[in-house]
Amino acid sequence: METSNPIYAETNRLVLRHFCLEDVDSFYKYRSNPLVSQFQSWENYTQKDAESFVNRQIVHKPNEPGSWFQFAIALANSNELIGDCALHTPLAEPRIVEIGFTLAPEHQGKGYANEAVGALLDYIFHTQKKHKVIAFTDVRNEKSIRVLERIGMRREGHLLQNYMSKGHWVDEYLYAILQTEWVDR
């Protein structure tokens, strides 16, 4: 892997790294899949959207207050992009951050999401020294709910009609975990 493409976290099977131009086609392939976008804010994702997104991510750095940073999830043995994790560092309170994650369908059901999100939490709590991590998920998104609960996040709320998605108001669950809970688990 090239040195200009930093790795932020590693597991036996995965790396969380910076996006690179070689990721555009793989990124487009899973982001444009209707099964992947079902519970996400985007739809009709284009190759141009993917190129623009990756180009923006290349110049971003994690932990910039007021921004979202996307980590590429890649297989450790091949550097193949299989998904991404998001980190939102709010401007108002940067010690409490929000995460999100997306995995290509052909890589789901293999424990990669649990592994990637766990590595992301290690990075957030050990390297970035954050106080709390939160995540929102559509109440219908059973796969994401299982990942968040498996890694030890607690459901803190059921938010009724919390956001507009694809023309409909959607309920969300709010999940959270404190640094002390993650470290003591």
pLDDT in tens, 13-33: 999 999 999 999 999 999 999
Which residues, 6+ apart, have CB-to-CB distance to 165 below 8 Å? 41, 138
In a domain, 138, yes or no: yes
The enclosing H or E element of 87 equals: strand 81-89
Structure confidence at residue 4 (pLDDT): 61
CATH number where 68 lies: 3.40.630.30
Task: Residue 15: give the domain boundaries.
Answer: 7-184
Which residues, 6+ apart, have CB-to-CB distance to 182 below 8 Å? 121, 122, 125, 133, 152
In a domain, 2, yes or no: no
What's 23's DSSP letter?
G
Compute the residue count for the chain: 185
Domain count, the chain: 1
Q: Map residue 46 onto helix, strand or coil.
A: coil
CB-based contact 172:165 (threshold 8 Å): no
Closest CA to 136 of 90, 172, 102: 172
CB-based contact 153:143 (threshold 8 Å): no
Owner of token pair 């929102």: 136
In a domain, 1, yes or no: no
State percent of the chain over pLDDT 70. 98
Q: How confident is the model at residue 3 (pLDDT cuts 50, 70, 90)?
A: very low
Summarize the confidence of residues 82-88 as an average pLDDT.
Answer: 97
Closest CA to 153 of 178, 184, 130, 128: 178
pTM, entire model:
0.94
- Tell me the sheet residues that pair with 155: 175
Tokens of 130: 């954050």
CA 93 – CA 89 distance, rounded (Å): 8
